[in-house]
Structure 1
């Protein structure tokens, strides 16, 4: 390793350790911070062999390095979903999918250790294990990018929009650099390690700078209580009242594909200002959540109406502006704790008793 590569490696590792230690106090407040810390910890473990190695094969430290390296793409994906796609509760199947890049080569390694099975004697199986895990890694990194960009426009918090662009782009590019050049094409040029460690040092410096130059709750936010616009005697600024009227009177939420840009043009309010109003006065962090509040309320009213009892739930959902039944069911259950069908049955039975 060249002296410049060693310098950047130690600089990057120190930034990783600093970031991990700084995040420890946040673990109790938000599960997302624990996922992010795990991502940083995987980065530390992956580079242990470069600093202190090489380690004896199958030793404890070797396994730490091995596990951390193979978990990196999956943990990056989970962290991206949790932070950037407003999905702080990760589902079990997502955890399982994230571990596949680790599980596939681990099974192969255990076969070689326990049964003295040389996987290289079977080229087809060797290729499936090697390139299968690599394909999954590239796919979940790509999906992390897609998820962040998909939710980019709907995010109402400017700082977090910037964080998305910086962290997702740089982290994904770094992982792709390592996977494609080192693992796929097996480039062994001396300059590669210098570029890799310099990129990692720059990435971690940027992440630390972003984390500690803005409010920490911008990235690791606690659950916000959004304001119910139906509350009596609720006073709003004239601009916010125009926004609420556009929803409650004009029912713009029913328009398919309604975006914050379209609402901005309709109201004649600059998009940046509109984001501030919906976030600052109504406490919504995401524009889709803002729309869904009115959509779900609309559907709930219709589900409680005896005159509309025979209308399918899907029809009511589409009329309110939802694009699919699955997205509607998920949003409705998150709001009311029951499915739309269960809600309708309960509401109609209670109204009959009255």
Structure 2
């Protein structure tokens, strides 16, 4: 490692520590901040192998790099789910799945140390752990990149769209390239390490810039869905009723593939203004949340009516605009804490005869 490589790695390390410390007072605020802080700590652990090289086997810094470096892909995936996807509250199985990037190499390493055997003597097992673990890491980062890109258009928070479209996507690509180089090709050219450290320093600086220069709540704060306020500001007195009528009267949410650009065109409202209205005035986190509010409300009303008691739930879901039963069931349960079938049974059984 060159002096410049260590220099850039040290800059990235310092930036990560600073960001983590500045977020510490907010760590109780929500899950996303805690995961993001954990991600920065993992990155710091990964950089110890550069800054404190050479590191003795089984030393303190060796264990830090082993734990932090292997946990990083899984934690990055969790951050993407929490901040950029629809998973506002992550489930235990998602944490368990993400932990595999750490548990597999950690178990393999500790078992070798405890039982004093060389895993390379078992070629098939060594190859399975090595390439299987690498594939798992690439799948996590690739899925995180897919989440950031696929949810980009539907995000109603302007600052977060910038972060998704730029810093986060580039970070995911960077991690993918680093994994491929470190685990598969293993280029030894000194310029590679310098490039890795330099790009990481640049990325961390950019992330901290967006995180602490733009409105912080745009990245981490989850906006609760509420019923549209009938008492709207005078400046939006014409646009908001049109949006509400388009949903409640024209039922545009039923249209397959409805996007915010399509709704803006139908209402003859500039897309940027429509985003601001739905997020700032109507308090929706993203466009899918906005559409699903009306879709779930329609299905909920029908499930409570005896006239639709024999209509399959799938039919009601598709008619309301959902593309699949799984996405509908997930959105419905998040709203009512019951499955559609359980909700129908509960409501109809308690209805007066």
TM-score by length of 1: 0.95
Instruction: Quickly say closer, same or farther: Cα 1:187–1:332, change in 2 above 3 A.
Output: same
What is aligned with 1:351?
A: 351
Instruction: Quickly say closer, same or farther: Cα 1:331–1:20, change in 2 above 3 A.
Output: same
Measure the CA separation in 2 of the matches of 1:71 and 1:335.
32
Structure 1 residue 24 and structure 2 residue 24: aligned?
Answer: yes
Instruction: Quickly say closer, same or farther: Cα 1:227–1:122, change in 2 above 3 A.
Output: closer
User: How many residues end up aligned between the 2 structures?
Assistant: 351
C-alpha deviation, 1:72, in angstroms: 0.8
What is aligned with 1:107?
A: 107
161-170 vs 320-329, greater mean Cα deviation: 161-170
Matches within 5 A, 1:39-78: 39-78=39-78
What is aligned with 1:9?
A: 9
Structure 1 residue 218 and structure 2 residue 218: aligned?
Answer: yes
C-alpha deviation, 1:238, in angstroms: 0.9
C-alpha deviation, 1:233, in angstroms: 6.4
Structure 1: gaps (5+ residues): none
Q: Deviations over 1:64-118 (max 9, x none)?
A: 1210011111111111111111313122222122122222222221232122221
Counterpart contact for 2:5–2:198, Cα < 8 Å: yes
294-303 vs 167-176, greater mean Cα deviation: 167-176
Instruction: Quickly say closer, same or farther: Cα 1:234–1:157, change in 2 above 3 A.
Output: closer
Q: Deviations over 1:139-193 (max 9, x none)?
A: 1110001111111111111111011122322221221232112221011111111
Runs of 4+ displaced beyond 4 Å: 231-236
Measure the CA separation in 1 of the matches of 2:230 and 2:179.
57
Counterpart contact for 2:5–2:194, Cα < 8 Å: yes
Measure the CA separation in 2 of the matches of 1:110 and 1:56.
16
What is aligned with 1:227?
A: 226
Where 2:351 maps in the other structure, the secondary structure is: helix
Where 2:168 maps in the other structure, the secondary structure is: helix
What is aligned with 2:249?
A: 249
What is aligned with 1:271?
A: 271
Matches within 5 A, 1:121-132: 121-132=121-132
What is aligned with 2:92?
A: 92
CA RMSD of aligned residues (A): 1.6
Measure the CA separation in 2 of the matches of 1:338 and 1:329.
9
Structure 2: gaps (5+ residues): none
TM-score by length of 2: 0.95
What is aligned with 1:317?
A: 317
